[in-house]
A and B are shown apart, each in its own frame.
Chain A
Amino acid sequence: MILGKVIGTVWATRKDEQLRGLKLQMVCELDPDGTQKDKVIVAVDSVGAGVGETVLFVQGSSARQTEVTKNKPIDAVIVAIVDKMDIEGNQS
Protein backbone atom coordinates (compact mmCIF):
# COMPACT_ATOMS: atom_id res chain seq x y z
CA MET A 1 0.00 0.00 0.00
CA ILE A 2 1.15 3.48 -0.72
CA LEU A 3 0.72 6.59 1.37
CA GLY A 4 -1.09 9.43 -0.39
CA LYS A 5 -3.02 12.63 0.04
CA VAL A 6 -6.38 13.29 -1.62
CA ILE A 7 -5.90 16.51 -3.58
CA GLY A 8 -9.05 16.64 -5.66
CA THR A 9 -12.11 14.95 -7.13
CA VAL A 10 -12.58 13.88 -10.74
CA TRP A 11 -16.01 14.04 -12.35
CA ALA A 12 -16.81 12.03 -15.47
CA THR A 13 -20.36 11.60 -16.76
CA ARG A 14 -19.54 9.52 -19.80
CA LYS A 15 -17.67 6.47 -18.56
CA ASP A 16 -17.55 2.69 -18.57
CA GLU A 17 -20.80 1.17 -17.31
CA GLN A 18 -18.99 -0.57 -14.45
CA LEU A 19 -17.57 2.68 -13.13
CA ARG A 20 -21.04 4.13 -12.58
CA GLY A 21 -21.66 5.26 -9.02
CA LEU A 22 -18.01 5.18 -8.00
CA LYS A 23 -16.24 8.20 -6.58
CA LEU A 24 -12.99 9.09 -8.33
CA GLN A 25 -10.36 10.98 -6.35
CA MET A 26 -7.06 12.49 -7.38
CA VAL A 27 -4.36 11.20 -5.07
CA CYS A 28 -0.82 12.51 -4.75
CA GLU A 29 1.83 10.13 -3.45
CA LEU A 30 3.12 11.22 -0.08
CA ASP A 31 6.40 10.65 1.69
CA PRO A 32 5.88 9.64 5.35
CA ASP A 33 7.57 12.93 6.35
CA GLY A 34 4.67 14.79 4.71
CA THR A 35 6.24 15.98 1.45
CA GLN A 36 4.17 15.40 -1.66
CA LYS A 37 5.81 13.54 -4.54
CA ASP A 38 5.31 14.36 -8.22
CA LYS A 39 3.18 11.33 -8.96
CA VAL A 40 -0.58 11.94 -9.05
CA ILE A 41 -3.09 9.22 -9.91
CA VAL A 42 -6.85 8.80 -10.10
CA ALA A 43 -8.17 6.24 -7.62
CA VAL A 44 -11.59 4.85 -6.77
CA ASP A 45 -12.63 5.63 -3.22
CA SER A 46 -13.90 2.70 -1.14
CA VAL A 47 -13.89 4.43 2.27
CA GLY A 48 -15.35 7.92 1.80
CA ALA A 49 -12.10 9.89 1.90
CA GLY A 50 -12.30 13.65 1.42
CA VAL A 51 -9.94 16.22 -0.06
CA GLY A 52 -6.98 16.90 2.23
CA GLU A 53 -7.04 13.52 3.97
CA THR A 54 -4.03 11.23 4.24
CA VAL A 55 -4.92 7.83 2.86
CA LEU A 56 -3.52 4.45 1.87
CA PHE A 57 -4.14 3.29 -1.67
CA VAL A 58 -3.44 0.08 -3.55
CA GLN A 59 -2.36 -0.14 -7.16
CA GLY A 60 -2.39 -2.82 -9.84
CA SER A 61 -4.52 -5.94 -9.86
CA SER A 62 -4.66 -5.89 -6.05
CA ALA A 63 -6.97 -2.90 -6.49
CA ARG A 64 -9.69 -5.24 -7.71
CA GLN A 65 -9.75 -7.14 -4.40
CA THR A 66 -12.47 -5.06 -2.71
CA GLU A 67 -16.24 -5.47 -2.89
CA VAL A 68 -16.55 -2.10 -4.63
CA THR A 69 -13.95 -2.75 -7.32
CA LYS A 70 -14.27 -6.51 -7.94
CA ASN A 71 -13.95 -7.41 -11.66
CA LYS A 72 -14.10 -3.77 -12.73
CA PRO A 73 -11.68 -1.82 -14.93
CA ILE A 74 -9.87 -0.28 -11.97
CA ASP A 75 -6.15 -0.18 -11.12
CA ALA A 76 -6.08 2.03 -8.04
CA VAL A 77 -8.31 2.13 -4.97
CA ILE A 78 -8.23 4.04 -1.69
CA VAL A 79 -8.55 1.45 1.11
CA ALA A 80 -7.93 3.34 4.36
CA ILE A 81 -7.83 6.79 5.95
CA VAL A 82 -4.75 7.24 8.13
CA ASP A 83 -5.19 8.17 11.82
CA LYS A 84 -1.63 8.05 13.05
CA MET A 85 1.86 7.06 11.93
CA ASP A 86 4.96 6.22 13.91
CA ILE A 87 8.21 5.88 12.00
CA GLU A 88 11.42 5.18 13.87
CA GLY A 89 10.06 6.99 16.90
CA ASN A 90 8.75 10.04 15.02
CA GLN A 91 5.02 10.25 15.50
CA SER A 92 2.70 12.14 13.18
Chain B
Amino acid sequence: MNIGRVIGNIWATPKTESLIGQRMLFVQPMTFSGADVGGKIVALDTVDSGVGDTVIYVSSTEATIPFKPKMIPADATIVGVVDQVDHKNGSWKPHSR
Protein backbone atom coordinates (compact mmCIF):
# COMPACT_ATOMS: atom_id res chain seq x y z
CA MET B 1 0.00 0.00 0.00
CA ASN B 2 1.08 3.55 -0.68
CA ILE B 3 -0.07 6.94 0.43
CA GLY B 4 -1.07 9.84 -1.77
CA ARG B 5 -3.39 12.80 -1.89
CA VAL B 6 -6.52 13.14 -3.95
CA ILE B 7 -6.05 16.06 -6.32
CA GLY B 8 -8.88 15.82 -8.81
CA ASN B 9 -11.82 14.15 -10.46
CA ILE B 10 -12.10 12.52 -13.85
CA TRP B 11 -15.25 11.67 -15.75
CA ALA B 12 -15.56 9.09 -18.53
CA THR B 13 -18.92 8.09 -20.00
CA PRO B 14 -17.86 5.41 -22.50
CA LYS B 15 -16.22 2.76 -20.37
CA THR B 16 -15.97 -0.95 -19.76
CA GLU B 17 -19.30 -2.15 -18.36
CA SER B 18 -17.89 -3.27 -15.01
CA LEU B 19 -16.58 0.26 -14.33
CA ILE B 20 -20.03 1.84 -14.58
CA GLY B 21 -20.92 3.49 -11.27
CA GLN B 22 -17.33 3.55 -10.00
CA ARG B 23 -15.86 6.89 -8.95
CA MET B 24 -12.46 7.72 -10.39
CA LEU B 25 -10.06 10.16 -8.75
CA PHE B 26 -6.66 11.61 -9.59
CA VAL B 27 -4.08 10.74 -6.93
CA GLN B 28 -0.64 12.26 -6.48
CA PRO B 29 1.57 9.61 -4.81
CA MET B 30 3.48 10.85 -1.75
CA THR B 31 6.42 9.77 0.36
CA PHE B 32 5.72 8.93 3.99
CA SER B 33 7.10 12.32 4.99
CA GLY B 34 4.43 13.99 2.86
CA ALA B 35 6.35 15.08 -0.25
CA ASP B 36 5.00 14.45 -3.77
CA VAL B 37 6.72 11.64 -5.65
CA GLY B 38 6.20 10.26 -9.15
CA GLY B 39 3.46 10.80 -11.71
CA LYS B 40 -0.23 11.26 -11.06
CA ILE B 41 -2.42 8.18 -11.27
CA VAL B 42 -6.13 7.51 -11.53
CA ALA B 43 -7.61 5.34 -8.77
CA LEU B 44 -11.01 3.89 -7.97
CA ASP B 45 -12.51 4.73 -4.59
CA THR B 46 -14.10 2.47 -1.96
CA VAL B 47 -14.13 4.84 1.04
CA ASP B 48 -15.86 8.00 -0.25
CA SER B 49 -12.69 10.07 -0.29
CA GLY B 50 -12.55 13.39 -2.06
CA VAL B 51 -10.25 16.14 -3.30
CA GLY B 52 -7.92 17.24 -0.49
CA ASP B 53 -7.90 13.92 1.36
CA THR B 54 -4.66 12.07 2.06
CA VAL B 55 -5.36 8.41 1.33
CA ILE B 56 -3.96 4.90 1.35
CA TYR B 57 -4.23 3.08 -1.96
CA VAL B 58 -3.35 -0.39 -3.22
CA SER B 59 -1.88 -0.92 -6.65
CA SER B 60 -1.54 -3.74 -9.23
CA THR B 61 -3.84 -6.81 -9.11
CA GLU B 62 -4.55 -6.28 -5.42
CA ALA B 63 -6.55 -3.21 -6.49
CA THR B 64 -9.26 -5.57 -7.78
CA ILE B 65 -9.71 -7.35 -4.42
CA PRO B 66 -12.06 -4.79 -2.75
CA PHE B 67 -14.57 -5.39 -5.56
CA LYS B 68 -14.58 -9.20 -5.46
CA PRO B 69 -16.40 -11.28 -6.65
CA LYS B 70 -17.03 -8.63 -9.33
CA MET B 71 -14.35 -8.55 -12.01
CA ILE B 72 -13.09 -4.97 -12.28
CA PRO B 73 -10.11 -3.77 -14.33
CA ALA B 74 -8.51 -1.66 -11.58
CA ASP B 75 -4.79 -1.17 -11.00
CA ALA B 76 -5.13 1.35 -8.17
CA THR B 77 -7.87 1.53 -5.52
CA ILE B 78 -8.21 3.89 -2.55
CA VAL B 79 -8.83 1.82 0.58
CA GLY B 80 -8.42 4.30 3.43
CA VAL B 81 -8.34 7.96 4.43
CA VAL B 82 -5.29 8.94 6.50
CA ASP B 83 -5.80 10.68 9.87
CA GLN B 84 -2.19 10.91 11.00
CA VAL B 85 1.25 9.60 10.05
CA ASP B 86 3.94 8.90 12.64
CA HIS B 87 7.30 9.00 10.91
CA LYS B 88 10.81 8.79 12.31
CA ASN B 89 11.30 12.44 11.33
CA GLY B 90 8.15 13.48 13.13
CA SER B 91 4.41 13.05 12.97
CA TRP B 92 2.13 14.93 10.64
CA LYS B 93 -1.57 15.25 10.08
CA PRO B 94 -3.05 15.85 6.65
CA HIS B 95 -5.04 19.05 6.18
CA SER B 96 -8.68 18.22 6.68
CA ARG B 97 -10.89 19.02 3.71
Contacts and interface: CB of A to CB of B under 8 A. Distances in A.
Contacts, number: 106
A31 B39 CA distance: 8
A53 to B, nearest CB: 9
A91 B17 CA distance: 26
Given A1-B41, A85-B26, A86-B8, A58 B74 contact: yes
Interface string A53-76: 000101111110111111000000
A48 B7 CA distance: 28
Interface residues of B, number: 32
Contacts of A47: 14-16
Contacts of B84: none
A35 to B, nearest CB: 11
A65 B9 contact: no
Contact of A58 (B7, B8, B10, B73): B73
B61 interface: yes
Interface string B41-79: 111100000010000000011011000000111111000
Interface of A: 1-3, 31-32, 37, 46-49, 56, 58-63, 65-70, 77, 79-88
Interface of B: 7-19, 24, 26, 39-44, 51, 60-61, 63-64, 71-76
